[in-house]
């Protein structure tokens, strides 16, 4: 059985390192794991006033996430947390109250930065939110992708050790999704 997971990228920047990492991870998904990038850049900002008559973009986003077996979050770190772009998508999926699309889905979090610290604080800020949303998050291997500008060759492919880690990470995530959707 093929499991399908949403890949949500916390940067909409042209040339985003995070998107590049997400694409490289998707390219290394194991057999039986289908990964689909679900765009979040055009989601109107969440406002509880609109719960009764939500914008079409919110409805489409929730409908897209609902049938997924898992969600892989790839995000940059902004000011030692994760970007509002990603928080907005998470908030939209969590509402209206009692109708969250996130609960129970097998999650993983990858933080990405050109800096040396690997976005560890943003990675754990996402995890904290996912705990509340009742999403089981893969614990190991952790993915704090630091110094990202040095990890891709001129051909756009990750260098050997990075490619190896991405394959290992996706293999573990495939098993995590399988275990939680058996
Ligand atoms: C950053 N950046 C950053 N980097 C980091 O390692 N820790 C941080 O707390 C921050 N804070 C931060 C705030 C804001 C508002 C911006 C715009 C940037 C730098 C960030 O990692 C860098 O711009 C990345 O290139 C962003 O990821 P994408 O867009 O390349 O995927």
Residue nearest to atom 12 of ligand 1 (CA): 78
Q: What is the pLDDT of residue 43?
A: 98
Instruction: Determine the pLDDT at residue 90.
Output: 99
Ligand 1 contact, 2 CB (< 6 A): no
**Ligand 1 centroid – CA 124 distance (Å):** 16
Q: DSSP character for 113?
A: -
Share of the chain above pLDDT 90, in %: 99
Query: What is the DSSP pairing of strand 33-37 with strand 70-76?
Result: unpaired
The pLDDT value recorded for residue 112 is: 98
- Ligand 1 pocket test: pick from 77, 87, 121, 151 the residue with the most ligand atoms within 8 Å of its Cβ: 77
The atom number, within ligand 1, closest to the CA of 15 reads 30
Residue ranges per structural domain of the chain: 3-180
CATH topology of domain 3-180: Rossmann fold (3.40.50)
The answer for residues whose C-beta is within 8 angstroms of residue 22's C-beta and 6 or more apart is: 7, 9, 37, 72, 74, 110
CA-to-CA distance for 28 and 169, rounded, in angstroms? 9
Which protein residue has the closest C-alpha to ligand 1 atom 15?
Answer: 78
Strand order, beta sheet including 106-112: 33-37, 3-9, 70-76, 106-112, 143-145
Ligand 1 neighbour 17 (Cβ under 6 A): yes
Closest ligand 1 atom number to CA of residue 19: 31
| pTM for the structure as a whole | 0.98
Answer whether 176's CB lies under 8 Å from 32's CB.
Answer: no
Mean pLDDT of the chain: 98
Structure confidence by residue, pLDDT tens digits, 76-106? 999 999 999 999 999 999 999 999 999 999 9
pLDDT digits (tens, 9 = 90+) for 5-57: 999 999 999 999 999 999 999 999 999 999 999 999 999 999 999 999 999 99
Query: Would you place residue 167 in the very low, low, confident or very high pLDDT band (cuts 50, 70, 90)?
Result: very high
Q: How far is the CA of 60 from the centre of ligand 1 (A)?
A: 28
Q: If you compute the radius of gyration of the chain from its CA atoms, what whole number of angstroms results?
A: 16
């Amino acid at each position: 059985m093929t499991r399908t997971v949403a890949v949500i990228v916390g940067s909409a920047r042209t040339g985003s390192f995070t998107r590049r990492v997400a694409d490289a991870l998707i390219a290394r998904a194991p057999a039986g794991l289908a990964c689909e990038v679900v765009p979040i850049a055009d989601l109107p900002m969440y406002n509880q006033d609109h719960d009764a008559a939500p914008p079409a973009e919110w409805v489409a986003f929730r409908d897209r996430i609902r049938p997924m077996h898992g969600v892989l979050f790839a995000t940059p770190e902004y000011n030692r947390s994760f970007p509002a772009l990603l928080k907005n998508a998470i908030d939209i999926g969590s509402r209206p109250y009692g109708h969250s699309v996130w609960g129970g889905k097998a999650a993983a979090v990858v933080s990405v930065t050109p800096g040396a610290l690997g976005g560890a604080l943003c990675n754990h800020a996402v995890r904290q939110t996912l705990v509340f949303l009742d999403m089981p998050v893969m614990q190991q291997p952790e993915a704090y992708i630091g110094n990202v500008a040095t990890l891709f060759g001129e051909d756009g492919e990750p260098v050997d050790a990075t490619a190896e880690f991405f394959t290992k990470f996706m293999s573990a995530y495939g098993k995590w999704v399988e275990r939680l959707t058996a």
